Amino acid sequence: MNGGDGPNSYAQNSVYQRGIIEAAKVIINEEITLKLDIQKLSSVTSEPFRIADLGCSCGPNTILAIQNIVEAIDCKFQSHGLISPEFHVFFNDQVTNDFNSLFASLPVGRKYYVAGVPGSFYDRLFPKASLHFIFSSCALNILSKVPKEVLDKTSPAWNKGSIHYTGAPKEVCKAYSNQFARDIDSFLNARVNELVPGGLMALVIPALPDVVSHRQVTIGSELELVGSCLMDMAKMGIVSEAKVDAFNVPLYFTCPKELRQIIEGNGCCSIERMEILSNPRHHIAMPDLRQRLLYMRAVLEMLIVKHFGTEIIDQLFEIYARKLSESPIFLNPEYQQSIALFVLLKHNVNL
């Protein structure tokens, strides 16, 4: 994600992610009210209540999400006649995340202490039984790495001429799906060690419905569109075709059935609640060309620059904007098929 606060930054172009967080607020409040065992969690009153946002990025969305969570937990303690604890919030993302911008935007007078935790959330990040509430939104669809098969010229899953699995052969889709399953398994194994007994884990994951194919989802097709722009630039001699063949975007959009199977197959957490967030479409549809362009640039620019360099960025997104404007699909909210899954997990006490 692009750091800073400029016109191409994630902070200025993350309306999709903000809409999902707003749509999840009511459910998170309900689940904290019903299922957070504060009697067990408040047994050691001198300890702070520790919350982690995994994959926080650097914009205002993580601050909004944490504020909602802190207020809901604070209200739960007060409703039981208990003194509210001190809150310690850990913001986690990759080491390349713009933590400086994040910390500079923290609200004055906040009711929590903060710390940054750089590193991959597919690995252990915290001491054993140290977190009371884990939150992650719009992050678990980012794979830990591009599946190696799609970059292997000898593999049936070699994704020549494409940068994503959308519209690709089934072998490419399967490689992405397998990588996602491995990543979620690693994520759950790490988190179950970090949660205290009685703690909760709330995940919000961009996804697609069980009955919708990858080709029908505009966000995936948009990555296919970016790929076609890179291939156009290869034909113009601006980049090499081999360079395009070696570039794939590590994003995967699961579906409810697949995600449930992965979590239940892992076995370390029980699914307390899983549902599609109610009608976030009015938040996530972006019918304005410039808004859509800036959003995709904020998401993809760092990945593209790392592989191709900075020289092609402006021209790439000029071509992308032209193709986007010519399409009847991407700027029409009626074609927006993507969803957001809310999942609440607890440590499986039967283990």
pLDDT tens by residue, 170-218? 999 999 999 999 999 999 999 999 999 889 999 999 998 886 554 444 4
Tokens of 41: 């969690």
Give the residue carrying structure tokens 């039981």: 80
Of 61 and 271, the structure prediction assigns the larger pLDDT to 271
The pair phi, psi for residue 344, each rounded to 5°, is: -110, 125
Residue 234 pLDDT greater than 90, yes or no: yes
pLDDT per residue as tens digits for the range 120-150: 999 999 999 999 999 999 999 999 999 999 9
- How many helices (H) and strands (E) would you count in the chain? 11, 7
**Would you place residue 296 in the very low, low, confident or very high pLDDT band (cuts 50, 70, 90)?**
confident
β-partners of residue 269 are 347
Position 45 confidence tier, pLDDT thresholds 50, 70, 90: low
Lowest mean pLDDT among 7-16, 85-94, 208-217, 332-341: 7-16
Torsion sign (Cα): 283, 259, 33, 85: negative
User: In sequence order, which ranges of the chain are alpha helices (DSSP H)?
Assistant: 15-35, 38-41, 61-79, 99-104, 170-194, 218-235, 241-245, 256-266, 281-284, 289-308, 313-326
Those residues whose C-beta lies under 8 Å from the C-beta of residue 211, and which sit 6 or more positions away, are none
Give the residue, 290 or 80, on which the prediction is more confident: 80
Distance CA 217, CA 211 (A): 11
Rounded Cα–Cα distance for residues 108 and 202 (Å): 26
Mean pLDDT value across residues 250-270: 96
Q: 326: pLDDT confidence band, cut at 50, 70 and 90?
A: confident
pLDDT-based confidence at residue 37 (cuts at 50, 70, 90): confident
% of the chain exceeding 90 in pLDDT: 64
Per-residue model confidence (pLDDT) at position 339: 86
Which CA distances in Å does 254 have to 203, 214, 224, 264?
Answer: 13, 9, 17, 15
**Is the confidence at residue 44, as pLDDT, over 80?**
no
Helix (H, G, I), strand (E, B) or coil at 148: helix
Query: Tell me, what amino acid is at 26?
Result: V
pLDDT at 199: 92
Asked if the model's pLDDT at residue 287 lies above 80, the reply is no
Distance CA 74, CA 137 (A): 21
Closest by CA to 256, choosing from 176, 328, 172, 343, is: 343
Indicate if the pLDDT at residue 259 is higher than 50: yes
Report the chain's mean pLDDT, rounded to a whole number.
87
**The pLDDT of residue 14:** 55
- Residue 217's pLDDT is 45
Tokens of residue 70, six digits: 């802190």
Q: Are 306 and 26 in contact (CB under 8 A)?
A: no
Please say whether the beta carbons of 20 and 204 come within 8 A.
Answer: yes
Burial call 305-336: b when 16+ CB within 10 Å, e when fewer: eebbeeebbeebbebbbeebeeeeebbeeeeb
Residue 112 in tokens: 């929590």
Instruction: Give the pLDDT band (50/70/90) at residue 351.
Output: low
Reported confidence tier of residue 343, pLDDT bands at 50, 70, 90: very high
Say whether pLDDT at 156 is over 90: yes
pLDDT by residue (tens digit) across 67-94?
999 999 999 999 988 888 999 999 999 9
Query: How high is the pLDDT of residue 241?
Result: 95
Give me the pLDDT at residue 285, please. 52
| Sign, CA torsion 319/325/326/331 | positive
Closest CA to 41 of 196, 203, 223: 196
Contact 29, 68 (CB under 8 A): yes
pTM for this predicted structure: 0.90
Cα separation, 241 vs 96, whole angstroms: 28
pLDDT at 21: 84
